[in-house]
Amino acid sequence: MSIVLQFNQFPCKTFAVVPQNQQSPLKFCLPSQNSYLSRAHLKNTVKRSNNWAQISTGGARRGFPVRAVDDDEWGTEKREPAVAVADPPQEPTEIDKLKRTLVDSFYGTDRGLRASSETRAEIVELITQLEVKNPTPAPTEALSLLNGKWILAYTSFAGLFPLLSRGTLPLVKVEEISQTIDSEKFTVENSVQFSGPLATTSISTNAKFEVRSPKRVQIKFVEGIIGTPQLTDSIELPENVEVLGQKIDLTPFKGLITSLQDTASSVAKTISSQPPLKFSFSNTNAESWLLTTYLDDDLRISRGDGGSVFVLIKEGSSLLTT
């Protein structure tokens, strides 16, 4: 450092000495033409710089290049490019755990139809805990969250149980019950999809809703729609079916399947081209209300007339697949 300081009083050009295997250069000055430093003094200066570099590199004498640098270049350090580090996975929150436990408790209940009294009590307790932690206290003021298609996962509404029961329609299965909300048009579509050995179809209702409170909406049904049956080319019958507590063996009927398949295939094209059947609700009492007590990006809990509860999951949510 003493070598650099003693030249500060002379006009000079800054030079940097870069020894081999060293990243930081050694700085010294060469006097300008107007300086009265002698060549011998300059030679001794360079020699002392070499000796200093020799000591700093372990005593081995090595050659190194010399280049002129500007003063503003001195002191810059070589920096390695920044490497992006992935954020660690987030731990599930208490609400996430409650939601997962609630959805797991639906297993084997067939949307609540076959839930035991113990399971119902457990589900009610989990629903109550989630309602207390509701992240959206005013759901009707967050219509963007309400918007979209919601799949029914559980209900205590007894009015749906005859529909879910296969005793009413032995060969027909309810594939999906959903509710689609359009928050811009203030419309609600309730839909039930059925599948049977010969065809698949759907029954839906269209309704308008009005906001009555931060949590409550009033629903007025406008029309019902019976979808055009989509006949299947291949007919599959179960081994047996239960009707009024009695099992009926369907094995003898399987011999008729081959001939029925040909008929179904030809009829399918004709029926599938027909428009769906629509009917209006003329009854002025075709109204209902819905109270949303929990709402987030993928789960909704609502309560209807008579205290019935509905748990719905947003279409595309991981809660439907895991």
What total of structural domains would you count in the chain? 2
Mean pLDDT is lowest, of 44-48, 184-188, 248-252, 300-304, for 44-48
In a domain, 233, yes or no: no
Same domain assignment for residues 120 and 218: yes
Question: What confidence score (pLDDT) does residue 201 get?
Answer: 85
Question: What confidence score (pLDDT) does residue 288 get?
Answer: 87
pLDDT band at 255 (very low <50, low <70, confident <90, very high): low
Last residue of one domain, picked from the residues 73, 104, 135 = 73
In a domain, 18, yes or no: yes
Same domain assignment for residues 112 and 177: yes
Same domain assignment for residues 178 and 285: yes
Question: What confidence score (pLDDT) does residue 92 get?
Answer: 87
In a domain, 266, yes or no: no
Same domain assignment for residues 114 and 55: no
Last residue of one domain, picked from the residues 41, 73, 105 = 73
| CA proximity to 292, closest of 304, 281, 284 | 304
pLDDT band at 213 (very low <50, low <70, confident <90, very high): very high
Could you give the percent of the chain with pLDDT greater than 90? 40
Question: Which segments of the chain are extended strands (E)?
Answer: 12-17, 26-31, 66-68, 148-155, 173-182, 187-195, 199-211, 216-226, 230-231, 240-243, 246-249, 277-280, 287-295, 299-303, 309-314
Same domain assignment for residues 157 and 36: no
In a domain, 181, yes or no: yes
Q: Residue 136 corresponds to which tokens in the numbers above? A: 């959206």
pLDDT surpasses 50 at 42: no
pLDDT band at 69 (very low <50, low <70, confident <90, very high): very low
Question: What confidence score (pLDDT) does residue 26 get?
Answer: 52
Rounded mean pLDDT of 217-227? 91
In a domain, 239, yes or no: no
Mean pLDDT is lowest, of 31-40, 193-202, 268-277, for 31-40
List the Cα angle 212/213/216 in 5-degree steps.
75
If you average pLDDT over each of 2-6, 81-85, 195-199, which comes out highest? 195-199
In a domain, 88, yes or no: no
In a domain, 249, yes or no: no
Domain containing residue 291: CATH number: 2.40.128.280
pLDDT surpasses 80 at 61: no
In a domain, 23, yes or no: yes
Same domain assignment for residues 316 and 189: yes
Largest CA distance in the chain: 121
Tell me: the pLDDT tens digits for 179-206?
A: 999 999 999 999 999 887 677 888 999 9
pLDDT surpasses 70 at 23: no
Same domain assignment for residues 10 and 115: no
pLDDT surpasses 50 at 274: yes
Same domain assignment for residues 98 and 177: yes
Same domain assignment for residues 146 and 61: no
Same domain assignment for residues 24 and 145: no
Q: What's the whole-model pTM score? A: 0.63
Same domain assignment for residues 180 and 126: yes
Last residue of one domain, picked from the residues 40, 73, 106 = 73
Same domain assignment for residues 65 and 109: no
Question: What confidence score (pLDDT) does residue 36 get?
Answer: 45
- Residue-number span of the structural domain to which 8 is assigned: 2-73
